[in-house]
Amino acid sequence: MELIVYGIINSITLSLVSLGFTLVYSISRVPNFAHGALYITSGYLTWTFLDKFAGFPYPLAILAGIGITSIVGAMIYQFILVRIRGMEISEIIATYAIGLAILEGLRWGGLRGMTFTLPAFFTGSVNILGASVDYQRLIIVGAGLLTFALLYLFTRYTKIGLAFRGIAQDERAAMMLGINSDMTAVVSLAIGSALAGFAAILLLPLGNIVVETGYNVLIFAIAVCVIGGLGSWGGVIVASFIIGFAQILTEAFISAHYQMVVALLAIIITLLVKPSGIFGKQKELEERV
Amino acid sequence: MSAEPILSIKGITKTFGGLKALVDVSFDIEKGDVFGIIGPNGSGKTTLINCITGFIRTESGQVRFRGKDITGWKPHKIADMGIARTFQIMRPYYSLPAFKNLIIPLWSPRARKTGGWRGGGKHGDRDTVAVDILEEIGFERDSRVPYKLASTLPTGYQKRLELARCMALRPDVIFCDEVFSGLSMSEIAGMVPLIEKMKSEGITLIMVEHRLRELFKVANRVMALNFGEKLTEGEPLDVIENKQVREAYLGSEGV
Amino acid sequence: MRKERIDRGLKVRTEGIYAINSAREILYLMGPRLLLIAGLLALPFVFEFAPYWKRVINIMCAYALLAIAFDFLANYVGLVCLGGAFFTGIGGYFAAIYNVNLGLPIYLSIPLATVSGALLCTFFLLPCLPLRGVYFAIVTLMYPLLFTRIIEALDIFGGTNGITGLDSFPNPYLEHYAIIIIALVFLFGMRRFVNQDVGLVLRGVKDNDQSVKASGINVTRMRIIAVFVASFIGCFAGAYIAHLYMWAGISLFALDFSIIPIASVVIGGGGTLVGAAIGAFILVPLSEILRAFGTFRIVIYCIVLTGFIVFKSEGIMIYLQRKYHQFERWVKV
């Protein structure tokens, strides 16, 4: 019972973390290797606001943190990626380099040790089906579900959301219909970064803000996206449940050290069995047969 | 010539999501045929080629080449059997000079088996053969054209390069995916003799084409597709007289 | 008198084919190469009285090898390897196991580590080779981190302490010249390799893998060959570094080994191989000068690298090449 509760929480955590990555990939076709860095940036910014400016209200700090992260994301596209659009090798190298620069820069700037923590929204815990769950985790689950719902509504019912889907399906056709592909890509990076930041705000109170988390987040986000099918939204949710439960089970029965091994094994099995992922798009399959 | 067709396709079906791209398409191709496949845009012609040459997996149906079942084989193995194809959207190896483009097919196991490339001396022998093939296909040997980067070639030459890439494999069957499209009239006029020459060399050709006039000059049998379904098959003139085919091309009011 | 570009009359028909008819023209073509070879060979003597910098030469050449491997994979085969550290780590640990645990001498452990490391790396990378796109980048990104964690968690191969007590090179000149000569051999060897027929097929795979498939060539097999060659080079560098430091530990999987080669290639000029090496010759000494900055160096590399990708994507090497060919001389009319 405990395992199921923790598994669900862990899965929703994972999907929150990976939504930003998959959103960016599905719309701009840029594998955003700076995802983990943006995640940490948001946490660090929020911490800075709280710590350096005494009396700064927590919600405002959060908003500022997410907002700045999202601007950073948009700027990454606007000033760097837009110039190398379509050159896959350069895109990968550039996003990876930016991510490393941010993470290692933060580390150099003093983001080390245990002093960097965000406070939980509410302290305390409840007992659900025999498992003790603190409020923060409940908020994560709630916020995760809310995010899915909002994203769903956003892509169905808003103009820019529909433009997103158009670009994701067929960039050229969408461009012909008057959708500005660069603009949507900027917005997608902004939203993707904001999602990463949002996930960070929710998750970081559970631990410390450390640079290593940035790498872990990137890796788990990628693992979830590859398994679900790169650029597939439904896939993200299914895949995060698969990895989420696999992790909880390995943690319970083997050792927590193997979480990353599980992620990598899952990627490799996916690549061997069904390369396009669980919900891989037909188009991609066709390209690769 | 044996009675068995060189290539026989039975009941190929392929759907993309909800869209039926091909529905139970069957036909036979005899050795030495120039077989035309016509149909309006989106009628599944290119998908059919992709299915036969292994670039897309079919859902059902069977492809037999010389009596051997090659359904679901990997593209490179099918090419290795002697079925070459051109691509509708030409993408030559842009970073290589035109004649170096042919090194790739000449390096393939098939070309090595057939030994066709063993032309010149010990060194650069593939280069020599490559230039020979290009000359055959209409690149002037002594001009700069064969030595230019493939990315700088005009469309007509890129199409020829695609054909040359197929020829380098010494295939038995070539699938030509719209070799005439995007070419000027004079370029097409230059291509037709090439097709005829290949035919006279005993290569079986399957041509997907929109330029019916040129196609009917060379083809001896034609099949018409519409919405993934086979409408009819037969002599070129019979096919074009077919009511369904006319409807498909001109719309039902046009008839 | 009028001005004339010195390559006029040399280049005929196409890039890469030259008509040479005087010693001067030969010098014009061979000069830069000879300069590079002679310069590299002379380095240990130049720095005879700066022992610290003599060590940097070795590291520099090892990084040059890694950069060549990265350049080959990225710009000739189209596979972006974000984890060069994977190669060095595997190579280094193999060398340590052969040398320390099995007691093989250094002249056996390095070659054996290179070959077995390359085989193992290729095996680990097999699943992502039939696919195109970002999968290779993703998997190579994960492996070094993963191996670090596994070694830490299981406490195998000395755990966080690593394996110590590897043999050092018998004398310092051997140490220098082993890596310098091998770097040169691989540099010119790879340049030749990518212009051989096999190399052309690999470049074809990068340009258009569909068309290669339609030509009856197994694309996966070609990629396996390419990854083997690259990991061979990388594992050699790793094995060498392990013996140089007489130690193999998890820092062989460190980020530096992944990012410096990438930065070298981008700065030096992708797709030239020589550019990759030159990039390493610039970056590694620079990183020694900046040693005081610690991890901030990685930030510097990344910023420089991004700047080059965005604003000067051709890199130093291609720029210099162009300028070199544009030299003019006065000729009598």
C13-35 confidence digits (pLDDT tens): 445 556 666 777 778 778 888 99
- In total, how many domains does chain C have? 1
All residues of chain C having their beta carbon less than 8 Å from the beta carbon of residue B103 are 197, 200-201
How far B107 CA sits from the closest chain C CA (Å)?
Answer: 7
- Exposed, middle or buried, C247 (CB in 10 Å: 0-12/13-18/19+)? buried
pLDDT one-digit tens code per residue, C91-149: 999 999 999 888 888 889 999 999 999 999 999 998 888 877 678 888 888 888 888 88
Last residue of a domain, one of B129, B155, B171: B171
Task: Reply yes or no on whether the pLDDT at B1 is more than 70.
Answer: no
How far C310 CA sits from the closest chain A CA (Å)?
Answer: 6
- Predicted local distance difference test score (pLDDT) of residue C11: 59
Per-block mean pLDDT, blocks of 10 residues, chain A (289 long):
83 87 84 89 87 79 90 89 82 88 85 73 73 80 88 83 78 78 85 90 82 85 84 82 86 77 83 74 42
- Predicted local distance difference test score (pLDDT) of residue A283: 47
- In this structure, how many other beta carbons lie within 10 angstroms of the beta carbon of residue C290? 13
Flag whether residue B75 sits within 8 Å of chain A, measured between CB atoms.
yes
| Residue ranges making up the domain that contains A110 | 2-210
| Alpha carbon distance C251, C161 (integer Å) | 10
All residues of chain C having their beta carbon less than 8 Å from the beta carbon of residue A275 are 130-131, 135
Contact between A279 and A234 (Cβ < 8 Å): yes
Helices (H) and strands (E) counted in chain A, each on its own, are: 12, 2
C residues 9-38 closer than 8 Å to B (CB): 13-15, 17
All residues of chain A having their beta carbon less than 8 Å from the beta carbon of residue C267 are none
Residue among C14, C197, C206 minimizing CB distance to B126: C197
Residue A77 is classified by DSSP as I
Residue among C15, C197, C215 minimizing CB distance to B169: C215
Assess if residue A113 is contained within a domain.
yes
Flag whether residue C192 sits within 8 Å of chain B, measured between CB atoms.
no
All residues of chain C having their beta carbon less than 8 Å from the beta carbon of residue B80 are 216
What value does the mean pLDDT of chain B take? 81
- Predicted local distance difference test score (pLDDT) of residue A282: 45
List of long-range contacts for A82-89, beta carbons under 8 Å, 24+ apart: A82/A182, A82/A185, A82/A186, A83/C310, A84/C309, A84/C310, A84/C313, A85/A182, A85/A185, A88/C80, A88/C133, A88/C134, A89/C74, A89/C75, A89/C78, A89/C80, A89/C270
Task: Reply yes or no on whether the pLDDT at C333 is more than 80.
Answer: no
Assess if residue C324 is contained within a domain.
no
Could you list the beta-strand ranges (E) of A70-228. Answer: 125-128, 131-134
Contact between C242 and C92 (Cβ < 8 Å): yes
Could you list the beta-strand ranges (E) of B30-149. Answer: 34-38, 60-65, 68-69, 83-85
Helices (H) and strands (E) counted in chain C, each on its own, are: 13, 4
| Residue ranges making up the domain that contains C116 | 52-264
Residue among A31, A94, A215 minimizing CB distance to C145: A215
Sign of CA dihedral A160, A164, A165, A166: positive
State whether B143 and B127 are in the same domain: yes
- Predicted local distance difference test score (pLDDT) of residue A287: 40
pLDDT one-digit tens code per residue, B207-247: 888 878 778 888 888 888 888 888 888 888 888 788 887 77
Scanning every residue of chain C, which has its alpha carbon at the shortest distance from the alpha carbon of B169? C215
C residues 205-264 closer than 8 Å to B (CB): 206-208, 210-219
Spell out the residues 6+ positions from residue B46 whose beta carbon is closer than 8 angstroms to its own: B88, B177, B208
Flag whether residue B249 sits within 8 Å of chain A, measured between CB atoms.
no
Last residue of a domain, one of B171, B205, B220: B171
**Contact C213/B79, CB-based, under 8 Å?**
yes
Q: What is the pTM of this model?
A: 0.88
> What is the three-class DSSP state of B126?
helix
pLDDT greater at residue B165 or residue C14 = B165
All residues of chain A having their beta carbon less than 8 Å from the beta carbon of residue C153 are 255, 257-258
Assess if residue C162 is contained within a domain.
yes
- Predicted local distance difference test score (pLDDT) of residue C211: 86
Contact between B113 and B91 (Cβ < 8 Å): no
**Contact A230/C134, CB-based, under 8 Å?**
yes
State whether B126 and B230 are in the same domain: no
Scanning every residue of chain A, which has its alpha carbon at the shortest distance from the alpha carbon of C256? A100
All residues of chain C having their beta carbon less than 8 Å from the beta carbon of residue A31 are 134, 137-138
Contact between C92 and C231 (Cβ < 8 Å): no
| Residue ranges making up the domain that contains B100 | 90-171
What average pLDDT does range C310-327 have in this prediction? 83
State whether B60 and B122 are in the same domain: no
CATH of the domain at B226: 3.40.50.300
State whether B182 and B74 are in the same domain: yes
Assess if residue C24 is contained within a domain.
no
State whether B78 and B177 are in the same domain: yes
The total number of residues written for chain B in this structure: 255
| Alpha carbon distance B215, B35 (integer Å) | 9
Residue in the block written with tokens 């036969």: B52
What average pLDDT does range B128-135 have in this prediction? 82
| Alpha carbon distance A37, A196 (integer Å) | 9
- In total, how many domains does chain B have? 2
Instruction: Single out the residue of B85, B98, B92, B182 nearest to residue B137, CA to CA.
Output: B98
- Predicted local distance difference test score (pLDDT) of residue B254: 43
Flag whether residue A84 sits within 8 Å of chain C, measured between CB atoms.
yes
All residues of chain B having their beta carbon less than 8 Å from the beta carbon of residue C212 are 76, 104
- Predicted local distance difference test score (pLDDT) of residue B120: 43
State whether B163 and B95 are in the same domain: yes
State whether B176 and B77 are in the same domain: yes
Task: Reply yes or no on whether the pLDDT at C273 is more than 60.
Answer: yes
State whether B157 and B106 are in the same domain: yes
**Contact C141/A268, CB-based, under 8 Å?**
no
Assess if residue A256 is contained within a domain.
no
